[in-house]
Amino acid sequence: MVNPDPTTAVTVIKLSGKALAAEQQLDKLFATLRGKNCLIVHGGGVEADDLLKRLGFTPKRLNGLRITSKEELPYIAGAFGTCGRSLQARAQKAGLKALALACSDYEFLKVSRLAPEYGEVGTCKPHSCRGIYDLFAHGFTPLLCSLGISADGSLLNINADDVAAAAAAALDAKLIFLSDVPGVLDAAGQLIPSLNTQSATALIKSGVINAGMAVKVKQALGFSRHSHRPIVIASIFDEKLTSCLNDTAAFGTAIEA
């Protein structure tokens, strides 16, 4: 899907659960986004894990993705929804016309179920960006939660990185992943400024890049392969963040297939 107005730049920012707790940094980010077409994607993994543990559940993952049982889904949805509304309140306080949405709202992304071993978990792909562009035209900043509804009416938990990549593909947008780590780190814990398919594959195979970061890097490579754009993985605490959003500085790890 291609941006119908190539003169209008769009940025998709994915916020990790830990980035959602960085209140001062979020305020700076939102101030920078005023007047820009930006879509923000969030999950709420930190909050969901905390709630599930307090309720006696043991969070489980498979290949870096959260396994979601039918019993856990209402609590995960509640945690993600609370994160979305809290984020909306903070964004509105900063002057943005923020609107909290599920990723399937406005038929933006089409949601389908993953393999049964993941439980109530789905994936998504671009479907129709008309509604999101209408929101941009009216000055709104969409906040997409990583929950969606499939064609058969099932509510599904979706990996937020998957949602961000699909959203960026739909909008032909620049894609930035923000968490509390400076980017992809090498075996010595040092930042890797850039990765391509060959170097990333080698680091994943050796185990240096693993678990959730491996999922994120693979997703970034896939997006870069189709969009011909680099994807940035960086920290919300990076002092270069606001200048990077204005295309005046590089930060984090740039991944390009």
Positions marked catalytic: 14, 17, 45, 161, 216
Residue 28 to residues 23, 25, 94: CA-CA distances in angstroms? 9, 5, 9
Reading the block at residue 230, the tokens are: 């680099």
Work out the number of other CB atoms within 10 angstroms of the CB of residue 220: 28
Instruction: Please state, in angstroms and rounded to a whole number, the distance separating the CA atoms of residues 214 and 255.
Output: 12
Give me the helices (H) in 36-139, please. 45-54, 73-93, 130-137
- Closest by CA to 79, choosing from 131, 32, 147, 166, is 147
Contact between 239 and 247 (Cβ < 8 Å): no
Instruction: Please state, in angstroms and rounded to a whole number, the distance separating the CA atoms of residues 129 and 58.
Output: 37
Torsion angles phi and psi, residue 55, rounded to 5: -90, 0
